[in-house]
Amino acid sequence: MGYQFDWSLVLTGEYRDWLIDGFILTLKISGIAGLCAMILGTVVAVMRLSRVKPLEWLSLAYTEFFRNTPLLVQIFFWYFGSEALLPTALNEWLYSHDFEFVAGTVALTVYSSAFIAEELRSGVFSIPKNQLEASRATGLSFLQGYRYVILPQAFRIVIPPLISQLLNLLKNSSLVMTIGVMEVTYQARQVESFTFHGFESFTVATVLYLAVSLAVSFAITMYNKHFLRQLRY
């Protein structure tokens, strides 16, 4: 007997609500991790450019380690391995406050921040060195020069690759289902388990991911056109 499609299972009723809740959680964990990754990546990039050798070595070790180890392994490390590193009281508090979500957010943050740091570093390298020297000549400190002069320009240059990294983070968030975070991929798997209609459930999940990615890609294209138009004038 052939497969009987039943889209009503995932477009109406309880199973639709599962997928919507999962998608909202996907956006939530991606948004929090993305914001934290931007902040942490900026700090790591500035450390790498500081010319203070210990900070350079530390930031280099950070980026190389997290960029060259699988995200899934890192997720498992933060979920299963952090218990050995954290105090018992903190472990108990985390387990009583959705530890799976916290572990997934931390893993996505540190992994993505390593890539964001490298994107920012490449953006800084595209800015003439004399701008930092000029900012120091006006009395700004090293950090103030980066804050008010260098980083605003670097962020503007690398906005498209930064957004691409955030899109990668959104797609990578599907891996946190492996530790029980009930994001949209987890919920699609649950719907498949209850209904045996995996095609419909995973099609909806795919369309949700695709819709966000295409919307952001369109925004990047519009930004690039606007940015190039400004450069001409």
Q: 56-92, pLDDT tens digit by residue? A: 999 999 999 999 999 999 999 999 988 777 777 777 7
pLDDT of residue 229: 64
**Measured in Å, how far apart are the chain's first and last C-alpha atoms?**
65
Burial of 97 by CB count in 10 Å (0-12 exposed, 13-18 middle, 19+ buried)?
A: exposed
Give yes or no for a contact between 172 and 108, defined as CB atoms under 8 angstroms apart: yes
- For the record, the structure tokens of 7 come out as 């889209």
Tokens of 43: 């700090």
On whether the CB atoms of residues 179 and 6 are closer than 8 A, the answer is: no
Q: What is the pLDDT of residue 178?
A: 95
Domain ranges of the chain: 26-183
Q: pTM for the full model?
A: 0.89
> What 3-state DSSP class applies to 54?
helix
Q: CA 150, 111, 48, 130: dihedral to nearest 10 degrees?
A: -20
CA-nearest of 133, 130, 102 to 29 is 102
**What token pair was written down for 146?**
């980066």
What's the mean pLDDT in 139-154?
81
| CATH 3.40.50.300 applies to domain 26-183 | no
| 14: pLDDT strictly greater than 90 | yes
Distances (CA, A) of 37 to 109, 111, 112, 117, 154: 5, 8, 6, 9, 16
Given a contact cutoff of 8 angstroms between Cβ atoms, the answer to whether 205 and 189 are in contact is: no
Confidence check: pLDDT of 1 > 60: no
Give me the chain's average pLDDT, please: 88
Is the Cβ–Cβ distance between 29 and 186 less than 8 Å? no
d(CA 210, CA 226): 24
Give residue 180's region: left, alpha or beta (phi > 0; psi -120 to 50).
left
**Which pLDDT score, from 0 to 100, does residue 98 have?**
86
* pLDDT at residue 209, as a whole number: 95
